[in-house]
Structure 1
Amino acid sequence: MNNLNHVDFSSSNAKPENSSMTTVNILGRLRIATEQIRYIQSSLAHNGLSDQVDMLDKVGKELDGILFNLGDIFSDDTRQSEINITSHDGQISTWLEQTFSSKPQRPPNRAAARFESIKAVIQASSFVNALQKQVRQNAKERLTTVLDLPVDICKLNLWSFNMMEYDEPMVLSTLLIFDAHDIISRYRIDIETLKNFGRALTDGYQKYRAPYHNDFHGADVLQTTHCLLIKSSLMNVFTQTEIAALLFAAAVHDYEHPGLNNGYLVKTKNDLAIIYNDFSVLENHHASSIFKLLRDKRHNIWSNMDKNEYRTFRSLVISLVLATDMANHASLVERMSTYFFFKETNSATALPDSKTLLQTLLHAADISNATKPWPIYVQAVEKIMEEFFIQGDLEKIYCEDDKPTFDRDSTDIVQLQMSFITHIVNPIFDVLSKVLQIDCLDHKQKESSSSATTTTTTTTTTTKLPWQYDLQLNLETWKQVAKSGDVQKLIIDKKPLKLDLIYLQEYVEKAEKILKKRSQHDLLLACTLTSS
């Protein structure tokens, strides 16, 4: 096993055996190899070394290959990744695999400036910190009163807040959230300029009248990103510039979205695909267009930002918006899973830089509909499916040789939602939950005495984050519909899509009962194990 101590991540020529593997298998193989090592250690204590030499050699080579790949993951945040989907509907599986994993595109730009050096992710920080106190105490009495806004920041702090209930959601959310994070005062942003920017942002989001990718979606992602920040132990991790860039990127990430995906634009040789060489077409357009908007002094809310800080800010915003390309999904999950594995096993390793965590937060917010309460989620389902079906209608006209990705006459909405939650939403929020909780626990353990540590561990590991119940409920609801429901009864109108919410509510109630029984069973089991 001595060769493990001589793995050279910096050498491009010294590839160990078993180094060629897809990254989705890395952590699983590492866990298996670790278990083998433990078995060997136990066996050696009783039987000696001779019978285990060959097995030790194989395990050593396996770990060499795995560590080589992990070195790549930590050093390269543009690494291409794959995702394997299992679904009863082959068409759904194909779409998920093509959309949420990387395709060979242009080589990564090594010359691009990285934002700051490697830093500890989710370092010692706590729920209660200076910025959160501002959110709770100060912001209530500021813009809400001055501008006569329909809600205050306390409402936007709720995971269950429904942005679709309010007019001018972009203006409302940017004013309140930027103020809550002290962005307005720090960068001396003129309120009228910010309002003008919010309205111009709204115009861009509404340009193509997309059913889903409009100003409500942009404002919802901003509010969800805000919630992820204040409901986790992240507030002290990021710099002021990083927080401003994250929230700004959340607000603008789908600016001028046409309601069509990258695949369609490339397939139809759209002008945007030609301009951006088929690479993250929409994301490049969003980032480019928003900075064009900022050239107009009526909308330039960053005019008072220091020039050097603005260069860093602009670079980070662009990287965050580009990272919302769904092809980056698998890579983000892998990098955060790798970090969590090392934290869980108390292994010393390099940590992903803050940009990786910022990208993960924004991506999670972007696909967070299924983590919201059912009434909010099902509204989003109607809108996104109608947008998919509009693209399918266009594909029938302009792509006659190809079967539409989504056909409003044949696509199984239930299976699609189940697959999307299981293979896309669950993994990103699962790893995010683990990372947030384990680092929060680390901080509390450092602050507590040894006697209090046990109590902290118990309360922290059992505390549920705000999205966990609704995510389970929404998935279980679709499972119940698939099991005993009539899928045809779900749809009142096909064009535009209209779902029967009353019919679906029956299955929501069934799902609630199932989750309640499951929770009671888990509690009883936990009590039994504790007593024994």
Structure 2
Amino acid sequence: MTTKIIHFMVNGKLEQAEFRADCSAADVRDVFRAAAEAGPHHILKMYNSSGSVVNISPRLEANSERSYYRLEVVASDLQSVAMPPELDDMEYRLHHLESKVMEDMGKSPDIMCELKSHVESFKRKLESVEHLSWMGLFKDDGDQQLSKFSPKPKTPQLSVQEERQQVRRKFLNMSSLQVTEEVREHLKTPIFDNWQWEEAEMLVLLQVMYMDLDFLTAFHIELEVLQNFLFEVYCHYNNIPFHNFQHCFCVTQMMYGLIWLTDLRNKLGRIDLFVMLTSALCHDLDHPGYNNVYQINAQTDLALRYNDISPLENHHCAVAFGILSKPECNILNNLTCEQYKHIRGGMIRCILATDMARHNEILNKFKLIQPVFDFTNKEHKEVLMKIMVKVSDISNEARPMAVAEPWLDCLLQEFFNQSDTEKLKGLPVTPFMDRDKVSKPSSQTSFIRFVLLPLFSELTKLFPCLEVKCHCAHTLNRCSQNQYVHHRRSSLLLSSPFAMCLLLQSSR
């Protein structure tokens, strides 16, 4: 029997493992467990050179030193994680059984295919524990827990830095190029498709937003400082399914589009526009992928630091002003004390307003002042600025279906990660995040009906230019979840009157 040689990186060292192809899965795992100095209750995760999770088994493909695997150890003392030894070779035994059935029958029976599907699904769930890094469960070289809020990256630290610097180089190289007028105009619309742009390109487009609103001239911002600031913001968004840099870009782009669409440039001062756009940009900085309910129930460092009061939103603000405290990134450096105070206070108010626990409070306040809204009234303007940031934050469903639907998949992935962790740690499970109870239709229709529609409907009252006569809301209230999804797919129905009117306005 031939011997396989596997090259892999663990704890920053390049190691080599050798075993025969007929070894059991348990024996192979023991080889890697010993190399990683892992205990019996540690979970091993193996990545190939492209960053994908691979199964640690005798069928692991041999490789070279240049195409080494990466081995990580997830530490846990939770009894629910320790699996019986028989599971190690379940996949092998199932494969062997299928081969025998194929010899006798010539094909796999339906029940065998179904069993394979269940095993594969269960295996993926066991192996997809990457989100456990947010619990501080990854081991480092000193066997100490990492910070709950500093997840271990998918690739070695050097690779992450190299990747970021590559983005920076692309950004700076492209920033001097002229963005076409067609792209500039499309950037001002709510139907802008974020999925076709790379990270460096999104940074260029963010730079365009700041320049086209004349912020550089108004606030004496040097272009190099703006570029440093945008890049640092990019670096402080984590690589998680939903609350990542791409979400940051989408929210900022929607805010930018609304500023043009509602002609806020002639209704609010430039300093307030700056507050709204920069708040949108910074509103989810260093988001860990687990919401405030989790932070509070798990008694995380953030919850303790901010006394259970909007821990995430307070953290986003703190990170934003931490970036701005760096001289090379300080786009507020040339402001007067009064201007700085105005912008800091406005950003804190706007970012804290994105806490959904305050949704009804802010919406009800807006409802009260909306009939008598006065753009010269300081309190009225502050409420509107909060509403505009909130609208931008939850605006995915106001975009065309081809743009919006992938975002729902990303959000559900992040939700399911949280509920899995809550179950693993014995915490209360957030109902709308439970993968065993939530479906795409139910999550979508509930959110649209109870959160998005009321908020967007109030905004259309203040801005008649957004108003359009359509029956979308009534259709949503009448139809069932499955009917709604079918209706949306078949007719490209957008989610709200606001969404419909935005599409109509932008297509004129």
SS in 1 for 2:437: coil
* Map of 2:323 onto structure 1: 293
Aligned mates of 1:146, 1:402 — CA distance in 2: 49
Which stretches in structure 1 are left out of the alignment for 5+ residues? 1-142, 438-459, 486-503, 520-532
Contact 1:202 1:215 in 2 (8 A): yes
Aligned mates of 1:477, 1:341 — CA distance in 2: 26
* Map of 2:222 onto structure 1: 190
Counterpart residue identity of residue 450, structure 2: H
SS in 1 for 2:349: helix
The alignment status of 1:434 with 2:461, answered yes or no, reads yes
Q: Which residue, out of 473, 490, 494, partners 1:509?
A: 490
- Cα deviation, residue 201, structure 1: 0.8
- Cα deviation, residue 508, structure 1: 1.6
Aligned mates of 2:392, 2:207 — CA distance in 1: 19
Counterpart residue identity of residue 375, structure 1: A
Count of equivalent residues: 321
Residues 482/186 of structure 1: CA separation in 2 closer, same or farther (3 Å cut): same
Q: Spell out the pairing of 1:68-87 with structure 2 (5 A cutoff).
A: none
Q: Which residue, out of 257, 262, 268, partners 1:238?
A: 268
- Cα deviation, residue 328, structure 1: 1.8
Contact 1:369 1:380 in 2 (8 A): yes
Counterpart residue identity of residue 187, structure 2: L
* Map of 2:250 onto structure 1: 220
Contact 2:432 2:443 in 1 (8 A): no
* Map of 2:190 onto structure 1: 159
- Cα deviation, residue 416, structure 1: 1.6
* Map of 2:412 onto structure 1: 385
- Cα deviation, residue 411, structure 1: 1.2
- Which shifted more, 363-372 or 162-171? 162-171
Residues 289/351 of structure 1: CA separation in 2 closer, same or farther (3 Å cut): closer
Larger Rg: 2
Which is bigger in relative contact order (C-alpha 8 A, separation at least 6)?
Answer: 1
Q: Spell out the pairing of 1:27-106 with structure 2 (5 A cutoff).
A: none
Query: Which digits, 9 at most, give the CA deviation of each residue in 1:90-121, with x for residues without a partner?
Result: xxxxxxxxxxxxxxxxxxxxxxxxxxxxxxxx
Contact 1:273 1:281 in 2 (8 A): yes
Query: Which digits, 9 at most, give the CA deviation of each residue in 1:367-419, with x for residues without a partner?
Result: 11111111111011111111101101101111256576522233122112101
Aligned mates of 1:314, 1:401 — CA distance in 2: 36
Counterpart residue identity of residue 424, structure 1: V
Contact 1:212 1:380 in 2 (8 A): yes
Counterpart residue identity of residue 158, structure 1: T
* Map of 2:347 onto structure 1: 317
Residues 295/510 of structure 1: CA separation in 2 closer, same or farther (3 Å cut): closer
Contact 1:218 1:254 in 2 (8 A): yes
Greater share of strand residues, 1 or 2? Answer: 2
Residues 484/177 of structure 1: CA separation in 2 closer, same or farther (3 Å cut): closer
| TM-score with structure 2 setting the length | 0.58
Aligned mates of 1:475, 1:278 — CA distance in 2: 39
Aligned mates of 2:428, 2:462 — CA distance in 1: 45
SS in 2 for 1:205: coil
Query: Which digits, 9 at most, give the CA deviation of each residue in 1:137-179, with x for residues without a partner?
Result: xxxxxx9883355874212111100122211265133201111
Which stretches in structure 2 are left out of the alignment for 5+ residues? 1-172, 501-508
Q: Which residue, out of 434, 438, 441, partners 1:407?
A: 434
- Cα deviation, residue 332, structure 1: 2.1
- Cα deviation, residue 233, structure 1: 4.1
SS in 1 for 2:264: coil
Contact 1:418 1:479 in 2 (8 A): no
| TM-score with structure 1 setting the length | 0.55
- Which shifted more, 322-331 or 361-370? 322-331
SS in 2 for 1:279: coil
* Map of 1:181 onto structure 2: 213
RMSD (Å), alpha carbons? 3.3
SS in 1 for 2:483: helix
Contact 1:418 1:475 in 2 (8 A): no
Counterpart residue identity of residue 482, structure 2: A
Identical residues among aligned pairs (%): 26
